Amino acid sequence: MRAVIIEEYGGKEKLKESEVPMPKAGAHQVVIKEKATSINPIDWKLREGYLQTMMPWEFPIILGWDVAGDIVEVGSEVTDWKVGDRVFARPETTRFGTYAEYTAVDDHLLAYIPETISYEEAAAVPLAGLTAWQALFDHGKLVEGEKVLIHAGSGGVGTYAIQLAKSKGAYVISTASEKNRELLLSLGVDQFIDYKNEDFTEILSDIDVIFDTMGGEILANSFKVIKPHTGRIISIVGEADKALVEKADVTFKNIWLEPKGEQLAELAQLMEEGKVKSIIGATYPLTEKGIYDAHAMSETHHAVGKIVIKVGE
């Protein structure tokens, strides 16, 4: 089958279109004929070698950890899924990723794609949507009526986080550039902050939950506006200074996504109800140049919503 792989760490020029063996379904797996996948920052961070101690894999590596498509093979112990089912998933993190025409996925990580949702819209969801879900609800314990600050709300994770927080009944505040104001307001943001011209530390106070997708100075400054004692700051990019955590007397967590099919099914339900939608900023083909260009856009940190890769018709 056709896939885009890397055979060594490095820049975008290391991405290579290649023929690789077809995956086979294990006892509790299915094989999906892919219709779409999507780009996440972990893809190019791994490509550059930043994560090799965490993921010490042999080459070649197929990047990508989102998939939407149709089941074409089921394993011997699979009971809940059948050939032809229209599904999406965030597969386990292995060196056999989803920049490919087919991929094998553990059956407990699958969810049905609602009839009203396209493969591209579904492929945008798993990694980013589950990250937002787990940050806000599993770790942030966000509940109705609380104030939540979502940094970089126009990004892939941010767009889902805004909608999920709103669906929970939270008061949603988000930072982004002015050009994305209308988009974020349309997703449910109650208070928009133009990060280029406004300082959120001078505007906000007593925030119940802060979702950090940026790290660095933004994360450090978040401790100035978190509610003392009961506030929760959840980051997906780095650890916070322990002195800041202790001084603010708040809960801080730096989290890593755990793939969960049942949570993906709940996201699918919200999409079917029209409470959550995928914002797709750009679409590219599954080719060497297509993935190269998609990585280039993701690396700017200014892509709006998700970058989707079309795999097949």
Task: Give tens-digit pLDDT for 129-187.
Answer: 999 999 999 999 999 999 999 999 999 999 999 999 999 999 999 999 999 999 999 99
Q: Is residue 262 part of a domain?
A: no
Task: Verify that 198 and 297 share a domain, yes or no.
Answer: no
The whole-model pTM stands at 0.97
What percent of the chain stands above pLDDT 90? 98
Instruction: Give residue-wise pLDDT tens across range 52-66.
Output: 998 999 999 999 999
Domain limits for position 165: 128-254
Distance between CA atoms of residues 72 and 24, nearest Å: 11
Residue 232 within a domain: yes
59 and 21 inside one domain? yes
| Residue 259 located in a structural domain | no
Examine the domain organization and report whether 114 and 139 are in the same domain.
no
What does the pLDDT average to over 244-268? 97
Q: Indicate if 153 and 239 belong to the same structural domain.
A: yes
What CATH number is given to the structural domain containing 6?
3.90.180.10
State the average pLDDT over residues 189-204. 97
Q: Is residue 25 part of a domain?
A: yes
Q: 117 with 196, same domain? A: no
266 lies in some domain: no
Mean pLDDT, all residues of the chain: 97
| Residue 226: half-sphere exposure toward Cβ, Cα within 13 Å | 28
Contacts of 157-160 with C-beta under 8 Å, sequence gap 24+, read 157/128, 157/131, 157/132, 157/213, 157/236, 158/132, 158/213, 159/128, 159/183, 159/187, 159/278, 159/279, 159/305, 159/306, 160/125, 160/128, 160/129, 160/131, 160/132, 160/133, 160/276
Average pLDDT, integer, range 260-281? 98
pLDDT at 243 > cutoff 80:
yes
Segment 79-85 mean pLDDT: 98
Q: Is residue 271 part of a domain?
A: no
pLDDT attached to residue 312 = 77
What's the total number of domains in the chain? 2
The residue out of 214, 238, 254 marking a domain boundary is 254
pLDDT for 102 equals 98
Q: Are residues 172 and 69 in the same domain?
A: no
The mean per-residue pLDDT over the stretch 75-93 comes to 98
Is the model's pLDDT at 301 over the cut of 90? no
Rounded to an integer, the average pLDDT of 271-276 is: 97
Q: Are 165 and 148 in contact (CB under 8 A)?
A: yes
CATH number for the domain spanning 250: value is 3.40.50.720
Judgement on whether residues 120 and 199 belong to the same structural domain of the protein: no
Q: Give yes or no: residues 146 and 249 share one domain.
A: yes
What are φ and ψ of residue 242, in 5° steps? -60, -30
